Amino acid sequence: MNAQLSDDEAGRLEALRQYGILDTAPEQEFDDLTHLAAQICGTPISAVTLVDEERQWFKSRLGLDILETPRDVSFCAHAILENGLMLIPDASVDERFADNPFVTSDPHIRFYAGVPLVTPEGQAIGTLCVLDTVPHQLDGKQTDALVRLGRQAVTLLEARPATTTEKGRSRQARQRAEHQRLLVAAETARRDADKVMFSEVRYRRLFEAAQDGILILNVETGQIEDINPFLCELLGYVPDDFLGKQLWEIGTFRDIVANQDAFRELQERRYIRYDDLPLETKNGHVISVEFVSNVYMCAEKEVVQCNIRDITARKRAKATHAYSVLLEAKVQERTQDLERAQIDTLQRLAIASEYRDDETGLHTKRVGVTAGRIAEMLNLPRTQVDLILRSAPLHDVGKIGITDAILLKPGKLTDEEFDTMRQHTVIGAKILSGSASPWLQMAEEIALTHHERWDGRGYPQRLAGENIALVGRIVAVADVFDALTHERPYKKAWPVEDAIAEIQQQSGKQFDPVVVAAFSSLDFPGMPLSSGTSYLPAVLV
């Protein structure tokens, strides 16, 4: 059953657009929320979704391989219409979802709980949701946690860097206003605390011992009534240089007009703060200070207290720290760029090697997909499956080192030529060696071992049985299946049923029987049984 549209669908879509988040790259903060939601609710699947006109797009996802779904089959399109959490214990018996393709087929969703992501303006633009493939329930604490995490997702949206959109400018203005409000609240709390804590004697002791400069001014005239020792030492003056004079008569505060204007503002607002104000000492040295002035009651009399803190060293330290952070970020960025460049180069090498005897260049991808599906059928951890999907396409990267005369020879290779061809496993492993990346470490292992045989008659090391790395055993099956079912310069494509039968016949000889059994459980949609048509899903082509 398709979800209805909200009463203000145009406004809801505009609110979503203003965030500028659709089709952006993954962000760790959102990924942390989805992982927490899954852990707290005990589900294998969770996501942060955003619903636009035609689709449900995943900003973050756990346990899902897809990036988006059509809106008309989206659970979240229903959830954004709810006032609170939408809970579906068993979707197969819910008339809204019983015939949903995600319920009737893979991934066979049964349980869903989603909390709407509601903007400060009241528009529901998506959800934080958790899902399971078995019926499920949430207790009160889990429900409360999911709602709280949903609010945090909205906070992350609001905290994203301001854009040129009206929403971005509005969000920036709200943040500035909230910052100012907190500053004023902090100073008000400090004034109230002073009234409670300080008697005249105790205040005097603090005044004399303070490690910040303090001036006490007459609230009506601006005359200096008191100055503490620390400020005298900081500026290089003695008390008589200050007492009885108006603030703007002191050389340190030599901009008379500006100081008179500031004092009038202080009388009106009763509070002024300068986070970074340059002051000149008696000997002409310029320092940076934090200057805070506020009006308060002291012994039944209003006075102005000016607190002056030297921040020169802090500014230098902050600048040094900022530079260090920037430098570290640049180093990290460069490191990531180099790693991406390395990976990109290796991928291009693998594709280049395949283009020489596979004009489509899709053999590497198909092997990766099949190897990943076998790994899933073997119930390997999701992280391992993902690594195999990414690593398996590099299995034949070493072919870049084999001449075309051998690689593209249409007839049978001589013994000497076959010995040369065998070296592509060693060449590939050397190309991939020495990396700290788990992906490339696995790719190195695959490149070296995917031509070993279960019976020990393979190459290059003549390993046997479980002495061969599991990933090598998996890719061996995937590689041979793809090679059999696709045309090469030296052979025609086999029908799929013949290729499967051949692999099953080699169980316990060329291939690991457990891997063959897992492979035999797969189907190959879109691949006619009597042709070499690619079975690679369209989204990966």
pLDDT tens, position by position, 437-481? 888 899 899 999 999 999 999 999 999 999 999 999 999 999 999
Q: What residue spans define the domains of the chain?
A: 9-160, 200-310, 335-540
- In CATH, 335-540 is 1.10.3210.10: yes
Q: Which fold has domain 9-160?
A: Beta-Lactamase (3.30.450)
Q: Which tokens in the block code for residue 110?
A: 């049964």
C-alpha to C-alpha distance for 308 and 488, rounded to whole angstroms: 81
Q: What is the mean pLDDT of the chain?
A: 83
Q: Do domains 200-310 and 335-540 have the same CATH topology?
A: no
CATH classification for the domain delimited by 200-310, as one of 3.30.450.20, 1.10.390.10, 3.40.718.10, 3.40.640.10: 3.30.450.20
pLDDT band at 531 (very low <50, low <70, confident <90, very high): very low
- Residue 246 CB-density burial (10 A; 0-12 exposed, 13-18 middle, 19+ buried): middle
C-beta separation of 519 from 503 below 8 A: yes
C-alpha to C-alpha distance for 217 and 254, rounded to whole angstroms: 17
- What H or E segment, with its residue span, contains residue 49? strand 45-51
C-alpha to C-alpha distance for 39 and 46, rounded to whole angstroms: 9
C-alpha to C-alpha distance for 226 and 217, rounded to whole angstroms: 7
- Per residue in 245-282, pLDDT tens? 876 666 556 565 677 777 788 788 888 888 777 777 88
Q: Which residues are registered as beta bridge partners of 126?
A: 50, 117
pLDDT band at 320 (very low <50, low <70, confident <90, very high): confident
Q: Which tokens in the block code for residue 520?
A: 């035999």
C-alpha to C-alpha distance for 171 and 192, rounded to whole angstroms: 31
pLDDT at 29 over 90: yes
C-beta separation of 2 from 73 below 8 A: no
Sheet containing 55-62: give its strands across.
Answer: 68-70, 55-62, 45-51, 124-132, 111-118, 86-88
C-alpha to C-alpha distance for 46 and 101, rounded to whole angstroms: 18
C-alpha to C-alpha distance for 42 and 429, rounded to whole angstroms: 40
Please tell me the predicted confidence (pLDDT) of residue 114.
96
Which amino acid is located at 171 in the chain? R
C-alpha to C-alpha distance for 496 and 523, rounded to whole angstroms: 10
Please tell me the predicted confidence (pLDDT) of residue 528.
42
pTM above 0.75, yes or no: no
- First-to-last C-alpha distance (Å) of the chain: 32
- Per residue in 325-340, pLDDT tens? 888 878 777 767 766 7
Which amino acid is located at 526 in the chain? G
